[in-house]
Amino acid sequence: MNRIVAWLEDYVLPLAARLGQVRWLVALKNAFVSVIPITMAGSLAVLIKSLVEIANDQLGWHALTVALKPILSISQIVWRGTFSLFALFLAVALGYQLAKTFEANRPAGAIISLSCFMMSVANLVKTKVDGDAIIVRQAFDIEQFSTAGIFTAILFGSLGFGIYLICYRARIILPLHTNYPHAEMSAFEALLPGLIAIFSVGGINYLFQLVTGKYFGDWLLQAIQIPLVKIGQGFGLVLLVTLLIQIFWFFGINGLGVMAPILDSIWLTAQNINVTAVKAGKIAPMIWGRASFDVFAWFGGTGGTLPLIIAILLFSKKVQDRTVAKVALAPGVFNIGEPVILGLPVVLNPIYLIPFLLAPVVNVAFAYWMTVMGLVNPVQVAIPTFMPPIIGPFLACNYDWRAIVVSLLNIGISLLIWMPFIFAANKLAEANKEF
């Protein structure tokens, strides 16, 4: 056991520490966090639509459906102004967070990122009129601003801001008198760097269109985003990411924070595809989304420590551990795991290494294959991270009662994995007279 811990300390811990210090990754993570209100509002609109459909189609409550029609219409409007423009909001948030991280002009960073994203999407719409396919030019298809544009927003938002930052730090700015108001000074200082960044990205897009005849955003979607999202649906990569997050947490590093850019770029994109499909009345095409980790494995927060708390309360004889578990129970129900991870502690505790790594991996594997076999709906609605277990899976899987069963089974599996190690901790405490 000590050899395993030492190997992880030598090879895995430095990698996690370096990733956590990459400022671009920190900004990207914060950008995804910033647009959570947009994600929640759009997902709530999907839940309302599904609830009305269930009431009408399955329960026969037609009067309730008519009564809720105004709320359904409001939800449609909310959807158009939130989730359907996800990539647009992400571009703004990314530019702002990059500027904040690198100590530049934040409004300028947000505007430049948005402008660079907009230049990279196709300004034409393909549609059908009376069965004939036509192309409408000088128009944007709103689908480009949803999940289809996430990677374009990340790439060109980052590129545009990077060029702006280089010019800004090189002091390629207009010379101004110091008696200008602060707002005007900031705007004029960002003028030349912003122009250079925007025209540079515009030139890149022009050359790409000239050589390939395609818009960069369309090419990026087909060549990188779609294949990467499909790779993310593979069983091996899902397990690997789960394991890495658990390893980072074992050493006291917020694994979710380190891996958030990967989780959000790949699995949040997949989840958004499901949300959009369900909103359109289609079947959710993706097996695994970002919230799948939360609702099927990370009971009690990242690390899945709620089963540990329950196991301690049921089987532990150590007074100190039971006290920590009692304090951590209420936060754990709302998916806050730090009290038990740091208070027990689980961090750097060799006794708990194996179950801490194994339980979430087994839970993810079980839920993944249940989803593949069609025994439970894939996650197709974004829910708040503080949503308690059982309720969270039910809502995330769009009112699928089978998600409750899978979650309960996973909690039971985790309890069985934790149980022998709780007994081992009891024996060790008896040997050391820690009671």
The predicted structure's pLDDT at residue 237? 92
Segment (H or E) for 201: helix 191-212
Question: Which residue range is the domain that position 351 belongs to?
Answer: 233-431
Is pLDDT above 90 for 144? Answer: no
Domain annotation covers residue 345: yes
What is the C-alpha separation between 251 and 303, in angstroms, rounded? 12
Distance linking the first and last C-alpha atoms of the chain: 24
- 198 plus 162 within the same structural domain: yes
Going by pLDDT thresholds of 50, 70 and 90, the confidence category of residue 203 is very high
CA dihedral 371, 373, 376, 377 (to 10 degrees): 60
Distance CA 409, CA 414 (A): 9
Taking only the tens place, the pLDDT of each residue in 96-135 is: 999 999 988 899 999 999 999 998 887 777 766 666 667 7
Residues 252 and 376 both lie in one domain: yes
| Domain shared by 259 and 321, yes or no | yes
My answer on whether 173 and 280 are in the same domain is no
Whether the per-residue pLDDT at 421 is higher than 90: the answer is no
Asked if residue 331 and residue 208 are part of one domain, the reply reads: no
Is 54 inside a domain boundary? Answer: yes
pLDDT (tens digit per residue) in 49-69: 777 777 766 666 677 777 778
Q: What is the pTM for the complete model shown?
A: 0.79
230/431: higher pLDDT: 230
Task: List Cβ neighbours of 155 (8 Å cut-off, separation of 6 or more).
Answer: 120, 220
What average pLDDT does this structure show over 329-355?
Answer: 83
Judgement on whether residues 237 and 154 belong to the same structural domain of the protein: no
Of all residues in the chain, the percent with pLDDT exceeding 90 is 26
Higher per-residue pLDDT: 264 or 4: 264
